[in-house]
Amino acid sequence: MKSTKASLKSIASYIPTKILSNFDLEKMVQTSNEWILRRTGIEQRHIADNDENTSDLGTKAAIKAIQRANLNPQDIDAIIVATLSPDYFTMPSTACKIAHNLGLKNITAFDISAACSGFIYLLELAKSMVESGMKKNILIIGAEKISSIMDYTDRSICVLFGDGAGAGVVSLDDNFPIIDTHTASDGEFGDLLMTQRAQKSNICTPLSMQMKGNEVFKIAVNTLSSDVVEILTKNNIKSEEIDLFIPHQANLRIIKAVQEKLNFTDKQCVVTVQKYGNTSAASIPMAMNDAYEQGLLKQGSLILLDAFGGGFTWGSALLRFGGENDK
């Protein structure tokens, strides 16, 4: 019988090679390895080369994700990219660039803007498009070159973020369904985490990010925790039944606070923030890929994803991972 439920059939990532350590940052702004480690848990982040665009990072992750789903690029009928650091502001979209890099013409390709919650929004969107029969195999990509919109003289934010990309393919497969997704927003808090206004005047303004970190922190912990409780309760699943809890990787203290509130064990909780910093829309698929390559994320694993970011936006997803283990 034909499947009717959407499934995440693969996961992959691409991480740029260049590393920016806390010690490198000590030479750039008034900060210290000790402060960054204690307040965020971050040890290093990866930074793309000057000539490496967000679409290049996304393309490399996408090629692997398509292979791992046992598909050819020609099987993909839509590409959706979540990014807050696109190649161009605001067109052509990063998705169109990636489609071109993959040699694909005449397919649906567009970007979404949901900041760090981007990958959850992508899952929700792809699930509905695949289950409605509109599309067969959707490539979803979170890709960020945040270094391109970062002010490396602002210590309050430049120590937090890094570059990278993560991708997956969503197709029908009842055996390993995306069980539920939840997305939400509250524009009231838009100015706590933002880039500069695009329509300030008719002159082009730089896009660097700004954040009132302390205020974001408190709202993030409460929102993430209640979001997790809501999706678990709605689906009648207890936290101990979850194989892996894979939250957005912004700050180790946020992850630990949510983990403790929800009683997830260290074994259940995937943490990569120490290696990559916050890579916004790429952070969840990059963390998933790490778990996959370490053999922790397996076909059929019950996983819970949870994210919070600028907008504010937030969301969670509950799914059985549908990807086969690498041969």
- Comparing CB distances to ligand UT7, the nearer of 35 and 77 is 35
Question: What part of residues 164-193 is at the interface with ligand UT7 (CB under 6 A)?
Answer: none
Q: How far is the CB of 158 from ligand UT7 (least distance, A)?
A: 8
Give the pair of three-digit tokens for residue 83.
Answer: 């990014």
Residue 135 CB partners (closer than 8 Å, separation 6+): 77, 78, 108, 126, 129
254 lies in the binding site for ligand UT7 (CB under 6 A):
yes
Which one among 57, 129, 250, 282 touches ligand UT7, defined by CB under 6 A?
A: 250
- Is 248 a known active-site residue? yes
312 lies in the binding site for ligand UT7 (CB under 6 A):
no
232 lies in the binding site for ligand UT7 (CB under 6 A):
no
Piece of 100-108, 119-127, 176-184, 249-257 that binds ligand UT7 (CB under 6 A): 249-257
Question: Are residues 113 and 81 in contact, defined by beta-carbon separation less than 8 angstroms?
Answer: no
Piece of 81-89, 154-162, 239-247, 316-324 that binds ligand UT7 (CB under 6 A): 154-162
- Comparing CB distances to ligand UT7, the nearer of 66 and 224 is 224
159 lies in the binding site for ligand UT7 (CB under 6 A):
yes
217 lies in the binding site for ligand UT7 (CB under 6 A):
yes
Give the pair of three-digit tokens for residue 206.
Answer: 């730089």
Q: DSSP state, 203? A: S
Of 169, 176, 94, 159, the residue nearest 130 (C-alpha): 169
Give the pair of three-digit tokens for residue 312.
Answer: 């504010």
Piece of 9-17, 129-137, 176-184, 212-220 that binds ligand UT7 (CB under 6 A): 212-220
What does 68-126 look like in DSSP terms, one character per residue?
HTT--GGG--EEEEE-SS-SSSSSS-HHHHHHHHTT--SSEEEEE--GGGHHHHHHHHH
Alpha carbon of residue 171 to chain centroid: 19
100 lies in the binding site for ligand UT7 (CB under 6 A):
no
Which one among 106, 199, 214, 236 touches ligand UT7, defined by CB under 6 A?
A: 214
Which one among 5, 39, 136, 182 touches ligand UT7, defined by CB under 6 A?
A: 39
- Nearest residue (beta carbon) to ligand UT7: 213
- Is 158 a known active-site residue? no
The residue count for binding ligand UT7 (CB under 6 A) is: 20
42 lies in the binding site for ligand UT7 (CB under 6 A):
no
Give the pair of three-digit tokens for residue 34.
Answer: 């000790």
Of 286, 277, 253, the residue nearest 24 (C-alpha): 277
- Is 182 a known active-site residue? no
Question: Are residues 82 and 114 in contact, defined by beta-carbon separation less than 8 angstroms?
Answer: yes
**Which of the following is catalytic: 116, 158, 251, 289?**
116
Residue tagged 């792809």 (tokens): 126
* Residues assigned a catalytic role: 116, 248, 278
